[in-house]
Amino acid sequence: MLNSLLIANRGEIARRVIRTAKQLDIRTIAVYSDADAKLPYVREADEAVCIGAAPATESYLNQLKILEAARKTGAQAIHPGYGFLSENAGFADAVNAAGLIWVGAPASSIRAMGLKDAAKKLMAASGVPVTPGYWGDDQSPQRLQKEADAIGYPVLIKAVAGGGGKGMRRVEAATDFVAALESCQREAANSFGDARVLLEKYVSSPRHIEVQVFADRHGNAVHLFERDCSVQRRHQKVIEEAPAPGMDAKTRAALCDAAVRAAKAVNYEGAGTIEFIADASAGLRADRIWFMEMNTRLQVEHPVTEMITGLDLVEWQLRVASGEKLPLSQDQITMSGHALEARLYAENTVAGFLPSTGPLKHFRLPQHVRLDTGVEEGSEITSFYDPMIAKIITHAPTRSEAAAKLAQACSQVEIWPVKTNADFLTRTLKNADFLSGHVDTGFIAAHLGQLVPSDVPSKSVLDAAAFEMTRQGQVRDPASPWTQLMGFRLNADAASTVHLQYNDKIHAVEASGATAWPTYTKRDITLVFESGAAWAFTAPQFKVGEGTAAGNGTIQAPMPGHIIAVAVKTGDTVRKGQAVVTLEAMKMEHTLSAPFAARVAELKVEKGAKVSEGAVLVRLEKVES
């Protein structure tokens, strides 16, 4: 067994490898960038080395720095995790040349599977079913058009060196082919430095099914059953599960046997995944499932395989790299129950799934499920790396039970101020079509309207916020005009009406003594968590006097922030209630309005300016309306 291991990766997977290595009494060495110095994996390793600045090209992709860190710390082996350099054949060669052990696929296997066209030719020659198509050397537009016509439309054009959805075009008719080809070739050349393409039959109702394989240097190769990764958004996996729903024993046997043949065809060693595409329009059938590509590394979704087999795949990797035989033979590997994994991302689903960055000031993950995460409360999500916060994994005797457990777990996520897709995951896992197993790679796009949460707080959320703010005394600010309107009514007595501000809208809520969701107060912000979504409320921010200004017409910043909009200029005449400036603070917008009809006497800020609490923004001179 290895005695020391450097993990050439970060975050969740580094932490995962460290956990297993410690169980095997292997000394662990972490590498980290400046941005990751305070992440948990850095302190959990036996030793840690800073290898550069935050950009991956200066740290996690810098082969020389990683090899130097291994030399200085006396590491015996390097585990690349996934992503970064995990499928870089040149790096695998460099590790071996430095006298170190590479915990991964042989460089020759990585190269054999690195180009889609060469991999398909090799698989076809080995008896592995491949998607009908063309992957020949003749790349002339005339030959490609002829082959596409023969395959039949719709057809897919795919970059030979592509990945992640780049360099891919779906063509519906022959008349569209040339333009789509040229576009695909340009993108492939720009993204991968290789303009070559292949053609594939477009599969209707496609499902992404992959098989976990393992091999050792003694000629043994096995499979650990299949996973279904069909629930994707823009070719990125969101929810994975094992086994694949609707898979019968006969189809499974054919699929898994093909995967083992594929691994043997490239003299594979270690953990790998053979990815297939299935035409599920008439259910899963062995004659309608085809080889797509091989990932020559451990996969992000490996935990679902671990859950149904009871095996530790990282331990298997380390044993194989140590020269041992596979721990089990094929007939000794069994599966039990069903497992599901949801990828919790730092992203704003309401705003088109834009990445969300910032500190994790409030961070609570569910209990009683498996969690693979690389962060903790106080960690910061940066723009430099993948926005995945955690993987949430459940296991149960049946798929429906595992899905219910995972939906419950996702609904218990409490993260703020970074936005997450927890609510989106909860909705997906409760969707009737998902629960019935009717999934394919177009599932999210087809159900998007049902899955993306609303940006308007529900009544139960407003009730919870009102209760918490009343309990904390936040609505009793003597400077607020709301507490001074003794005769004000809104379907309730003044004393029982609470005013809450969410973004730029004020809600009048009848306070009650019940709260349905977890609530917290952080300084002047009240947080309510509902089904994984975070809602942040403040009391309406006003200064003494009418509206948002003092009696002399001075509009001040109610809190620190920056100006994102200025709606007036000096000399303008404004009406009572007209928006003057908009302040963004804590990722919330606050519109400050004129308290009376006035002329803008002095404008003291401009768009983009940072302001402190109490800063004078605008001075108004009252005019007769």
Q: Taking the CA atoms of the chain, what radius of gyration do you get in angstroms?
A: 29
Same CATH fold assignment for domains 105-131+206-336 and 338-453: yes
pLDDT greater than 60 at residue 385: yes
Task: Tell me how crowded residue 589 is: count the other CB atoms within 10 A of its CB.
Answer: 16
> In 3-state terms, what secondary structure has residue 181?
helix
Q: pLDDT band at 554, cuts 50/70/90?
A: confident
pLDDT greater than 70 at residue 479: no
591 CA to centre of own chain: 32
Residues 43-68 as b or e (16 or more Cβ within 10 Å = b) = eebebbbbbbeeebeebbbbeebbbe
Among 16, 27, 297, 619, the active-site one is: 297
Q: What pLDDT, on the 0 to 100 scale, is given for residue 313?
A: 98
Q: pLDDT band at 381, cuts 50/70/90?
A: very high
- What CATH fold (topology level) applies to the domain 554-622? OB fold (Dihydrolipoamide Acetyltransferase, E2P) (2.40.50)
Strand partners for 528: 519, 535
Minimum mean pLDDT range among 305-309, 312-316, 446-450, 485-489:
485-489
pLDDT greater than 70 at residue 398: yes
Is the previous residue joined to 417 through a cis bond, with omega within 30 degrees of 0? Answer: yes
353 with 347: CB under 8 angstroms? yes
Kindly give, in sequence order, each residue whose CB lies less than 8 Å from that of residue 481, ignoring residues fewer than 6 positions away: 542, 546, 547
Strand partners for 278: 207, 289
pLDDT greater than 60 at residue 477: no
Which DSSP state fits 203?
P
Task: Tell me how crowded residue 274 is: count the other CB atoms within 10 A of its CB.
Answer: 28
Domain ranges of the chain: 4-103, 105-131+206-336, 132-201, 338-453, 459-537, 554-622
Which CATH class name applies to 4-103? alpha beta
Q: pLDDT band at 516, cuts 50/70/90?
A: confident
Whole-angstrom distance, CA of residue 327 vs CA of residue 266: 21
Task: Look at the block and give the residue holding tokens 């309608």.
Answer: 288
pLDDT greater than 50 at residue 484: no
The Cα-based distances of 618 to 345, 579, 615 in angstroms read 40, 12, 9
Q: What pLDDT, on the 0 to 100 scale, is given for residue 482?
A: 42
Kindly give, in sequence order, each residue whose CB lies less than 8 Å from that of residue 400, ignoring residues fewer than 6 positions away: 435
Whole-angstrom distance, CA of residue 42 vs CA of residue 14: 9
- Amino acid (1-letter code) at residue 408: Q
- Amino acid (1-letter code) at residue 59: S
138 CA to centre of own chain: 38
List the structure tokens of 286: 């062995």
Question: CA nearest 363: which of 371, 353, 352?
Answer: 371
Question: CA nearest 32: which of 73, 74, 78, 65?
Answer: 65
Q: What is the mean pLDDT of residues 416-426?
A: 97
Instruction: Clarify whether 15 is annotated catalytic.
Output: no
Whole-angstrom distance, CA of residue 189 vs CA of residue 192: 6
Q: What is the mean pLDDT of residues 146-152?
A: 95
List the structure tokens of 44: 């959990």
**What's the pTM?**
0.80
Strand partners for 52: 33
**Per the CATH hierarchy, to which homologous superfamily does domain 132-201 belong?**
ATP-grasp fold, A domain (3.30.1490.20)
Whole-angstrom distance, CA of residue 131 vs CA of residue 289: 8
Phi, psi (degrees; rounded to nearest 5) at 338: -135, 140
pLDDT greater than 90 at residue 553: no
Task: Look at the block and give the residue holding tokens 């948990």.
Answer: 40
Mean pLDDT, the chain, whole residue set: 90
- Amino acid (1-letter code) at residue 2: L
Minimum mean pLDDT range among 153-162, 375-384, 456-465, 503-512:
503-512
Handedness of CA 430, 433, 434, 440 (dihedral sign): negative
Q: What pLDDT, on the 0 to 100 scale, is given for residue 490?
A: 39
Looking at the domain that runs over 105-131+206-336, which CATH code has it been given? 3.30.470.20
288 with 279: CB under 8 angstroms? yes
Strand partners for 529: 534
| Percentage of residues in the chain having pLDDT higher than 70 | 92
Whole-angstrom distance, CA of residue 210 vs CA of residue 256: 9
pLDDT greater than 50 at residue 449: yes
- What CATH fold (topology level) applies to the domain 338-453? D-amino Acid Aminotransferase; Chain A, domain 1 (3.30.470)
For 130-262, list the strands marked E by DSSP: 133-134, 155-163, 166-171, 197-201, 206-215, 221-233, 236-242
Tell me the per-residue pLDDT of 64-78, one tens digit each, with 9 for 90 and over: 999 999 999 999 999
pLDDT greater than 70 at residue 495: no
- Amino acid (1-letter code) at residue 514: A
Task: Look at the block and give the residue holding tokens 């292997």.
Answer: 26
Q: What sections of 266-398 are H helices per DSSP?
A: 302-309, 313-321
Q: What angle do CA 355, 299, 432 make, to 5 degrees?
A: 65
Q: What pLDDT, on the 0 to 100 scale, is given for residue 587?
A: 46
Torsion of CA 108, 114, 118, 123, to 10 degrees: 80
Task: Look at the block and give the residue holding tokens 């899905």.
Answer: 403
For 366-444, list the strands marked E by DSSP: 370-373, 380-381, 388-396, 414-416
Tell me the per-residue pLDDT of 167-221, one tens digit each, with 9 for 90 and over: 889 999 999 999 999 999 988 888 788 899 999 888 888 999 999 999 999 999 9
Minimum mean pLDDT range among 87-101, 182-196, 249-263, 348-362:
182-196
- Give the length of the chain: 625
Strand partners for 373: 390
List the structure tokens of 11: 């975050």
Which DSSP state fits 36?
G
List the structure tokens of 89: 């054949």
Q: pLDDT band at 549, cuts 50/70/90?
A: very low
